[in-house]
Chain A
Amino acid sequence: MRYAETGVNLEIDLFRGSIEREASDPRLTELHLGGLGTNAKILWDRVPPEVDPFSPDNLLIFGTGLLGGTPAPGANRTIVSTFSPQTLLMAYSMMGGFWAPELKFAGYDKVIIRGKSPKLVYLWINDDRVEIRDASHLKGKSALETAELIRQELKEPKAQVAAIGLAGENKVYYASIEQGRSSASRGGMGAVMGDKGLKAIAVRGKKDINIARPEEFMKLCNEVLQYIQFRRDNPVVGVPPILAGIGSPQEMAIHDEQWHTTSFSWGNARHRRKDFWTEGTAGNWKETQDKAVERLISCYNCPMECGAVIAYPSLGLAKYMMKCYSKLTYVMGAMADDLEFGFKIAGDAQGYGVDSYTTPQVMAFAIELYENGILTDKDLPGFPSKNEDRFFYLLEKIVRREGIGDILANGVYKAARQIGKGAEEYDHNTIKRQEQIPIKLGMLNPIYYIMWSTGEKVNITQIEGQLPQAPFLAKELREEFVKDWPQLPTGKEEKFKRFILDWGDEDKGLPFWPPIDLVFELVEWQETMHYIDDSTGICAGLSSFPIKPPYHIHNLPRIISSATGLDIDEDKLWQIARRNRTLLRAVNVRRGMRRKDERPPEDHWKRRFPEFETKLHDEYYKFKGWNKEGIPTKETLDELGLDYVSRDFEQRGIYKEKKVKVTKPDSPKGEKAQVAKKDSKKGKSQSSKQ
């Protein structure tokens, strides 16, 4: 018997209309656990590097985590993986909600989709019965409405539905996959789904998920629940309210948005509004939010209430569900002072199915181009004068790929190059062609420098966590913070506590403090915890993301072992996370990612230190067992049991490549040629076997 996992993947070929059940290799569970780890393994094995994201040979994988659907609180993430039309690299985006547990209950760990359907279809997974069904009547429908219509037509109110909206159908590079209160938004998952002609996947399951050592497992789950309660009653003292608790930032419940609105940049990642948050604003925003939020809601088996049912009858808006930071992204992108605008446009955007993180930045970028005469009234006929109206205007153009929308739908990086006329200068907040959180700061932070540069998700929130965002100024607060910190990894306790105790002292200032080896250890800890979550399907909001979470390196090995029957201790789990992390890098290296692609936006910090940054890069790569180009060495790969990767690299001559010459090493103004070059290959790989 398989425990925690089902041991079965669904293989769907949309071109042939074939549906197969494949038993998965239990050995892969031992090596990679599940979720992102096994998704990456499948993409390595089955999608050669020359395959274009919009080729029928690209795979779109809906994976569950190894613990998904078990009673482990918050083990509910769906890990969607594919190759991104925007970055051209492996992309993964995860959503909470209810979909992954339902898939497990139906008897499957993953749905692996290949090929393209000639007409729009949806997939209906009802335990053992799996059908590909016509979706032509759902064409152009909003993602939320699609889910409703499917549930009605199947007479299955309990079916969980993941669907794309118009943006996905039109292959907007940052189209999302929506699932009620959650979405897989980053990297253009929805565009790949739309390209495959797949409107939605509905799933309903009535089977058991088995637990290997039930009593032990339940005791650990109960402890997690008790710790959640403890953290609710004991918020971290000395950090902004939005960071004091656990869960994903509690933006539906908490009104105080001083931290986001005054620390992050507005417009096209341009303006800091340090005095934005006044008493008047706080009052207005609270009133708006109280009106809009009808109920706080959760994902499967998680007591946190990170989402909300949003209703805004006075705006004539249909109800929808929201979570986290999307409340602010459109408001800040549009330089709007009004939270009501945020609730309104986010509802439309969710229906169309676009990433609420990239989309406002693309729109703010377009407004800047217009204001600087690079885009004109010819490109934007009838462009309104108010930013809020302009955002609604642009949203409609983008999701339909209409006029200038057809270019903006490709994201800031590519659009800037298509528009030309100096538009490239306004692309100042992307990494590896993807829009980042709009943060512009003063002094270079070496920990964040490494994380922004080398994270495989190309998204800071998927690597950072566990640590406060700023030093505690008062010594007593530091003492208080380190007193009760059981999450620290074995052997690092004193070092990491020392870091908090010293951080903020006058002689312990960025960027040359903390010492470089401590920088790397802190980065590795943060990243490792994310890779564990991404394979178990436990929400980062209860684990790798917040400060002092209920899941950590000490209870996770026992939870995984008792659920699965595998014998995993702290060292082994760390090693599995390292293997998964390295495999992801290998997939991207094989697609051409190199050192020159790995750097933060040039204006991310005002004060930069090119020589020091080069050293950080050199030493970090060494620390990870990668060569100077960021390619995992043969020794590193072999030690992790990834010798098939090193053999592939040798055969392809990847280790022997001449270094690409960059005028100034790791200079922020260097070229981005390698990734861009791949565009020319698109035509070729489109014509595939089918």
Chain B
Amino acid sequence: MKTVKRIKIDVDKCNGCRACETICSAFHAVPKYSSANPERSRIRVLFDPLRNIYVPVIAGEYTEAECNGRNVYTINEKEYDECSFCRASCPSRDLFKEPDSGLPLKCDMCEERSPDEEPLCVQWCINDALTYEEKEEEGEEEEKPREMEVGLESLVKKYGIKTVRDTLARIAKG
């Protein structure tokens, strides 16, 4: 058995305040809470207020390539590229990337905190647009890549393992 953790999003309850972005970016700052910057957040509220569209999107997997054949959605008479609501950090857009390094960002459910606590975006959304759910499901518990691994992997994919290794060695000597 494995535990599946999920953040459920009710877009009808979202009021667009972006408290989730604020607290996420503060929690993941180093040292913890030492800064705030929604650009570093692993959750973003995509909104188009005059069309009454408010969609919190939580950062998902990094993909190294753009996808082909994107679909177009029409909502309230406006067309949206599928990209608009996609969770992936990918080469075709700025969303879910560290603003200085460009490294991909991914939601980690604030797991560094004590494991029985809800992720902070859920705690700070007191209007319950975000709620938390844990379920036991069939299957093996898998080892999740840690944050630095995700970043390093993306660098390896981009520059090749040798360049990354050489660079690290040079920095270490530095």
Contacts and interface: CB of A to CB of B under 8 A. Distances in A.
Nearest to B39: A206
A157 B44 CA distance: 13
A520 B87 CA distance: 56
B52 interface: yes
B115 interface: no
Interface in B47-86: 48-52, 54
Interface string A227-268: 011001000000000000000000000000000000000000
A146 to B, nearest CB: 12
B129 to A, nearest CB: 10
A229 B126 contact: yes
Interface in B14-35: 15-19, 22-23, 26, 29, 31-35
A104 B103 CA distance: 23
Given A181-B49, A229-B126, A321-B49, A296 B36 contact: no
A311 B52 CA distance: 9
B163 interface: no
Given A295-B52, A301-B19, A218 B26 contact: yes
A210 B30 CA distance: 11
B38 interface: yes
B52 A294 contact: yes
B167 interface: no
A299 B38 CA distance: 15
A518 interface: no
A678 interface: no
Contact of A302 (B17, B26, B40): B17
Contact of B50 (A208, A210, A319): A319
B99 interface: yes
B11 to A, nearest CB: 10
A215 B34 CA distance: 8
Interface in A306-323: 309, 311, 318-321
B3 interface: no
Contacts of B19: 73, 301-303
A298 interface: yes
Contact of B18 (A296, A300, A305): A300
A70 B33 CA distance: 10
B104 to A, nearest CB: 16
Contacts of B37: 105, 206-209
B132 interface: no
Contacts of A71: 22-23, 26, 33, 36
A217 to B, nearest CB: 7
Nearest to B11: A295
B33 A297 contact: no
Nearest to B54: A295
Contacts of A301: 17-19, 22
A144 B23 CA distance: 29
B127 interface: yes
B35 A309 contact: no
Contacts of A318: 50
A211 B35 CA distance: 5
B36 A303 contact: no
B10 to A, nearest CB: 12
Contacts of B48: 157
A297 B17 CA distance: 7
A286 B141 CA distance: 52
Interface of A: 69-71, 73, 98, 105, 144, 148, 157, 180-181, 205-211, 214-215, 217-218, 225, 228-229, 232, 294-303, 305, 309, 311, 318-321
27 contacts: A69-B36, A71-B23, A98-B18, A105-B37, A144-B50, A206-B39, A206-B99, A207-B37, A207-B39, A211-B33, A214-B31, A214-B34, A218-B26, A225-B126, A228-B126, A229-B126, A295-B52, A295-B54, A297-B49, A298-B17, A300-B18, A300-B22, A302-B17, A305-B15, A309-B50, A321-B49, A321-B50
